[in-house]
Amino acid sequence: MNKKGKKISLLRYWTTRYLITLVLGLIVVGILSVIWLRQTNLEHRLDMTRYLGQEISDRFVETQSGQMVPQGGIFDYIEQRQGILDTELDPIIYIVDRSGRILSNPLKRNPFSFDIFPVSLLENNSDVQRIQLASGEETYLVKTAIEAEGGTAGWVVVIQSTGQLTQMNEEYRLLAIMLVSLALIGWAVIYVLSKRLSRPIQDVATAARHVQEEDYDFTLPADIKEREVHELVHSFREMSGRLQELERLRLELLAGVTHELKTPVTSMTGLIQAVRDDVVTGEEAKEFLDVSLNEANRMQTMVADLLEFNSFSAHTVPISADNYNLNTLLTEIIHQWKVANDEESLQLSLHTLEEPVFVNIDSMRLQQIIVNLLNNAKQALNAEGTIDVRLYNKDNDTAGIDIADNGPGISEDEQHLIFERFFRGENKKYNTHGLGLGLPFSKIIARSMNGDLVLTESREGKTVFTLEMPKYQE
């Protein structure tokens, strides 16, 4: 965000900051490179200056009867060696004897005001010295000994300006070209990569605006190599698909609730109208009123389910937990359900464990889950078939309750939706009354008791729901 509060694009944000970072980094690299090049160039040219002094000593100084005799031609030699030194040098050259007396100054340049060369400079053990001339100019002095009759007869002294020794205009140009090229290439690379990275994010932002307007007709790129961006796009695609599915379920809910409430209201209105108009009398009128009362109770149950659903959705499921032997509790729940659902063509079997299994749960909530699962199995079987309830140890810490039936099963297309609120499968939508809240309720209740409810298996002839409950640990 800039100073005016306007958002900055990802492309501009990263390219600008990367370019600033790159330029600062290249400036630091440039400074260090200049220092290194100056030092390297200085050492190289000092070596060449030593070579020059040695050449003059060997070729232009002769020793006759113990005396040094400088020869001519040094100036022409210097001009010929300009290419070797790779710069326009203007050295000061002296040929001096051991006492410092200047025997020759071939280039006719003498920065000193006396004819005797400073002996202190000659007696210094170092062959390279940094000195300052009387004019204030910084220079390097390189001396080369002239050997004669087993000893040092004198020296060839070469004085060269520091500026000339470190001069490297061509190197500066090459370094500048290299740094500018690196900056441009780096900026171009980060621009391309940032643009590639920002494109799918921009697509997701555009798709989000479509979803906000309840328009799910959009496409997102699929061939994304970056893992994080791929996960972002994939997650958004799944989220939008889920939102679309929930929107469809919401519309079905409105239609379903309207149908479920309209049907008993219409039935009740007709029956009560018939009784009021004396269309029916006596026992038949009482029967009409009983039917109207049953329809009113069904409406009351649906309204209660909706109110309870709001409470459950807010994660405020009231739980009153206590320790129970799951063998005993499950036996009682199954017995009560059998008494209320005495169907000769429906076979219900229960398998418990020989050893007691203790859990810390709300018995009423557990009964609510088991009864709902048994009712669903009964509806799937049309009251004709077998239901098998089996208690077992899932592991050392969890007990499992499998509720299986031999009904037609749940289609694969619907299995991932059965725990969605208000979802009702195609087989139940037109054959069974309800709001599609039973399984979502049961799953929320199971999780509120630190357990879970899952669909373990569903196919033609077998459907298994598993209720998992944590064992009580003393």
- Measure the CA–CA gap between 105 and 117, rounded to whole angstroms: 11
| Res 43: pLDDT | 87
Inter-CA distances, 119 with 70, 152, 154, 391, 460, Å: 20, 14, 11, 110, 113
- Measure the CA–CA gap between 81 and 319, rounded to whole angstroms: 101
Q: Where are the alpha helices (DSSP H) in 355-421?
A: 363-381, 412-415
C-alpha angle with apex 285: 280 to 291, nearest 5 degrees?
A: 125
| Res 466: pLDDT | 93
The tokens describing 72, both together, are: 């001519």
- Measure the CA–CA gap between 253 and 207, rounded to whole angstroms: 26
Which residue type is seen at 88? E
Q: What dihedral angle (degrees, nearest 10) is formed by the CA atoms of 222, 225, 226, 232?
A: 10
- Measure the CA–CA gap between 183 and 197, rounded to whole angstroms: 21
| Res 430: pLDDT | 46
Residue in the block written with tokens 């209740």: 445
CA atoms 279, 283, 288, 289: torsion sign: positive
Task: Quick: pLDDT tens for 200-222.
Answer: 777 777 888 877 777 777 777 77
Residue whose C-alpha is closest to residue 165's, from 45, 266, 79, 50: 45
- Non-local (6+) Cβ contacts of 189 within 8 A are none
The tokens describing 370, both together, are: 């088991």
C-alpha angle with apex 305: 304 to 307, nearest 5 degrees?
A: 65
Inter-CA distances, 260 with 103, 246, 378, 454, Å: 125, 20, 21, 28
| Res 441: pLDDT | 79
Pairing type for strands 398-405 and 452-459 reads unpaired
Residue in the block written with tokens 């697509």: 203
Structural domains present in the chain: 11-171 (3.30.450.20), 222-316 (1.10.287.130), 320-470 (3.30.565.10)
Block means of pLDDT (10 residues each) for the chain, length 474 residues? 61 79 89 88 84 81 68 70 60 82 76 70 85 82 82 83 80 87 86 79 79 74 74 80 72 62 74 82 82 76 65 63 89 84 80 89 86 86 86 89 88 78 59 65 84 89 90 74
Task: Quick: pLDDT tens for 2-13.
Answer: 555 566 676 777
Other CB atoms within 10 Å distance of the CB of residue 12: 13
The tokens describing 347, both together, are: 């076979």
| Res 91: pLDDT | 81
Residue whose C-alpha is closest to residue 393's, from 285, 470, 317, 307: 470
Residue whose C-alpha is closest to residue 370's, from 471, 451, 466: 466
Cβ atoms 371, 437 nearer than 8 A = no
| Res 316: pLDDT | 56
